[in-house]
Structures are given as structure tokens and as C-alpha cells.
Amino acid sequence: MIYQEAYEKLKQCGQEHLLKYYEELSREEQEGLLAQIEATDFEVIDACHHMGENKKGKITPLAAMQLDEIEANREKYTETGLAAIRAGKVGAVLLAGGMGTRLGSDDPKGMYNIGLTKDMYIFERLICNLMDVVRQADSWIYLFVMTSDKNHEATVKFLKEHDYFGYNAEYVAFFKQEMAPAADYDGKVYLEAKNKISTSPNGNGGWFISMERTGILDIVKKAGIEWLNVFAVDNVLQRIADPCFVGATIAKECAVGAKVVRKNAPDEKVGVMCLEDGRPSIVEYYELTDELMNAKDEKGEPAYNFGVILNYLFREKDLEEILAKKLPLHVVEKKIPYLDAYGNLVKPETPNGYKFESLVLDMIHELDSCLPYEVVRNREFAPIKNKTGIDSVESARELLKLNGVEL
């Protein structure tokens, strides 16, 4: 792209200020900036002018498979799941492209050391959990790791240096997700350097498209993987490729299984499983009206009582069918490093603008059927979002200890 073309592209969306320092740049930097302008989709910025317009359809309950039903069928489901794993039909996708800003470490979140008397990195903990299943099935499971431009090198280097914490490197593959521009509250995209537009990872909803664009899907197909277990980097207790969960989702012939926990209060801040206009969906806590919060099912239990924990088992062929669908964009307020009027880099202490993200939970609504699968919260849900307090390093350590993990 030449300067004039870049200028025209930016003018059309009111972002010409991104060329403010163009004349000061070296030839190489100029080329880099023009290439970035060419590659960037500025249309996403429009989403900040339509906030709150995403209206939900008609919400009705979606029954979860609860613990008693799981226990009654555990052996059968586990066998089905193990058979699928041994046949190489199950792959795992670690979503590690996020910025982890709340945790406040400059390193990728998975590199965070939660150990007390010894090193215990988040990545290490997750791999330990996956190894339990590898041992049980006596079969390696492909682990696809999604990173972003911001943390790719550090993540790959760290895992290599630690020899993948004992995992078989032949079964590990990395891919990068895409980036989206970040803007101030008026929708003006920030610069993070004179030659660089401020961007951030475009949310965890783009994982499958990124697998396709980066060629990882070829590995999936060649290996004959039919199910992809997508999971977050920050839940250190989570069970990955859990055979019973895999077996239950296969047995129920669902397009996706979603691990859920029983809410601990009607107003707990988690997205809950439901049907929306008859299709599976997730209603966020801030979208849950009093009426829905207090609704009861036929057994007199709360009708919207199961929150998602970002652990989904997707049937791969169904994802291919929805590949071309556009997911809604979520506008998220964040702290975005930017250049001030004098060209100095500022790292704000409080949120100063918007990032634009698509979310994996919105993929559920595109699919025909979903199995919410209950897990015991204290056994499988220890998310690390913050350093202290709720969903923190501290709370996760307590939960790990409760589960007999030495730290």
C-alpha cells in the first residue's frame, strides 16, 4: 500500500491522525506503518457507536446434565470418551492470547508462578492436568496453543525452555490469533508508537478462524480430530479432554458440550446457559432480568442456575459450517498504552478506551445443540484473573491445596 492509498483508507473512517508522524519515520518504519494500515480492519471501531444495541431473543431454560446423572453413567461415558481419545479424535485448544491485564504481569499469563515452596507455573499446572488424561488413555492428545502478536515469542520460548513440562513436543502446535485496533472513547484509534497503531488481541472468539488461517486446521484434519476442547489459560483446576465429559457430549449427540458450575447466588456474575429463540445460548449476568433470575424449573430449582467456565468441547465439523458467520463484537473498556500529544508513550492507570473482541461463548448460539455438563466448582474451577481477592492467585492457591496439589 502506498501513502496515498493509506491516507484514503484512513480518511474514510476518520483515522487520518495515524499518519501524524509519517514524515519523521525512517523508510523502513514508514513501510511498516503502511503495511499495518493495510492489514487493519477499522470497521470494528463502528461497534463503539452501537453499544447496548445487541438485543437478546426470547430466553428459555436449557436443562443441564447434573452431577447425579453424570455419576450414574460415569463408567459408560468415560469409556466412550477414552475410546475417542485413543482413536485420536480429541484435540485440546489452549486459549492463551489474552493480555491478562488484571493480573498485571508483563509476561504471558501462563508464565505466572503460583508456587509457594517451589516453582509452579500456570502453564505447568495445565499440562499436569492434561497429562492425567494422557496417562489414563495411554495416548498423546494434540495441544494447540493460541497466542497473539503480543505474547507469541515469549510463550513459545518459555514452553520450549521448560521442555513443555514433560509433554510430547510432537503433539504441541502454536498459532497466532488476529489483532484489532484499540481506540479512545470517541472511536479514534490510538498510536502506541510513532510507527505503530495500537492493537490488542481480537478476543477469544476468533480461535477457530485463526486455526484455519494459520494452517493448524490441516493438522486437525490430517490427524482425524473430530472434537476440540477449548479452554482458558487461567483456570488452574480445570480438567482438559476429560473423558467423561467427552463421552457424555458424544452420547448426547450434541454439537458442543459446555462445562458449567451451579451458581452460588442468583446474582453471581457469570454467564448462564439458556436457549435463545430455541437455540443454545449464554445470557450474561448483566443481561439477566429479575424475572429470569427468579424463574424456577419444574422441580422448583432456579431455571438459570448453571454458569459457564470457558471449557467447551466443540464438534469440529459443525465449526466448519459456521466459519463464515460473523460473531457479535463486544466493546470492552481497557487500559490502553498510547502516545500523548507530544509523542510520549503513556501507560494509563485507569481505563482510557475500548478494545474490540469476539467471544467464544457467542459461537454456542450458532450451533444447533449444546450439552451443559455440571462439574463440582471446588474441584474444577479456580480462575486466576487478579492478584488478590476474588478469582485471584490467592483464591486459586487455596483451591489447589484443597485438591491436594502441593505448591
Choose the stretch contacting ligand UTP; rule: CB under 6 A; options: 101-109, 184-192, 219-227, 363-371. 101-109
Look at residues 43, 3, 53, 49 and name the one whose alpha carbon lies nearest to residue 25.
3
- What are the φ/ψ torsions at residue 59 (nearest 5 degrees)? -95, 130
From 204, 210, 238, 281, residue interacting with ligand UTP (rule: CB under 6 A): 204
**Paired strand residues for 273:** 282
Nearer to ligand UTP, 83 or 173 (CB): 173
Q: Using CA atoms, how far apart are residues 405 and 407, in angstroms rounded to an integer? A: 6
Label the pairing between strands 191-193 and 196-197.
Answer: antiparallel
First-residue to last-residue Cα distance in the chain: 53
Nearer to ligand UTP, 98 or 243 (CB): 98
Q: Using CA atoms, how far apart are residues 307 and 260, in angstroms rounded to an integer? A: 5
Q: Using CA atoms, how far apart are residues 167 and 119, in angstroms rounded to an integer? A: 17
101 binds ligand UTP, rule: CB under 6 A: yes
Choose the stretch contacting ligand UTP; rule: CB under 6 A; options: 47-55, 72-80, 230-238, 286-294. 230-238
Nearer to ligand UTP, 81 or 383 (CB): 383
Nearer to ligand UTP, 82 or 189 (CB): 189
Q: Using CA atoms, how far apart are residues 210 and 201, in angstroms rounded to an integer? A: 12
Choose the stretch contacting ligand UTP; rule: CB under 6 A; options: 5-13, 95-103, 166-174, 238-246. 95-103
Look at residues 305, 245, 296 and name the one whose alpha carbon lies nearest to residue 274.
305
Cβ neighbours of 345 (radius 10 Å): 12
From 1, 63, 99, 251, residue interacting with ligand UTP (rule: CB under 6 A): 99
Label the pairing between strands 306-315 and 227-232.
Answer: antiparallel
From 18, 33, 183, 232, residue interacting with ligand UTP (rule: CB under 6 A): 232
From 98, 181, 243, 353, residue interacting with ligand UTP (rule: CB under 6 A): 98
Q: Which residue is nearest to ligand UTP (CB)?
A: 98
34 and 3 Cβ atoms separated by less than 8 Å: yes
67 and 376 Cβ atoms separated by less than 8 Å: yes
Cα–Cα distances in angstroms (integers) from residue 16 to residues 6, 159, 189, 278, 353, in the given order: 9, 40, 10, 45, 18
Q: Using CA atoms, how far apart are residues 78 and 59, in angstroms rounded to an integer? A: 32
Closest contact distance (angstroms) between CB of 148 and ligand UTP is 6
Closest contact distance (angstroms) between CB of 236 and ligand UTP is 11
Nearer to ligand UTP, 248 or 359 (CB): 359
| Binding track over 107-126 against ligand UTP, x by CB under 6 A | --x-----------------
327 binds ligand UTP, rule: CB under 6 A: no
20 and 7 Cβ atoms separated by less than 8 Å: no
- Left if phi > 0, otherwise alpha if psi is -120 to 50, otherwise beta: which for 78? alpha
From 44, 82, 95, 217, residue interacting with ligand UTP (rule: CB under 6 A): 95
Site for ligand UTP in 142-171 (CB under 6 A): 146
Closest contact distance (angstroms) between CB of 267 and ligand UTP is 20
Q: Which residues contact 333 (CB under 8 A, 6 or more apart)?
A: 351, 353, 354
From 124, 226, 234, 242, residue interacting with ligand UTP (rule: CB under 6 A): 234
Site for ligand UTP in 384-403 (CB under 6 A): 385
From 56, 102, 188, 279, residue interacting with ligand UTP (rule: CB under 6 A): 102
- Give the number of residues in contact with ligand UTP, rule: CB under 6 A: 21
DSSP-assigned letter for residue 84: H
Label the pairing between strands 279-283 and 345-346.
Answer: unpaired
Nearer to ligand UTP, 182 or 250 (CB): 182
Closest contact distance (angstroms) between CB of 103 and ligand UTP is 6
Closest contact distance (angstroms) between CB of 179 and ligand UTP is 9
Choose the stretch contacting ligand UTP; rule: CB under 6 A; options: 60-68, 75-83, 90-98, 367-375. 90-98
From 37, 64, 96, 182, residue interacting with ligand UTP (rule: CB under 6 A): 96
233 binds ligand UTP, rule: CB under 6 A: yes
Q: Using CA atoms, how far apart are residues 369 and 367, in angstroms rounded to an integer? A: 6
From 81, 181, 201, 280, residue interacting with ligand UTP (rule: CB under 6 A): 201
Using CB under 6 A as the criterion, which residues of the chain lie in contact with ligand UTP when the complex forms?
Answer: 95-102, 109, 146, 177, 201-204, 232-234, 310, 357, 385
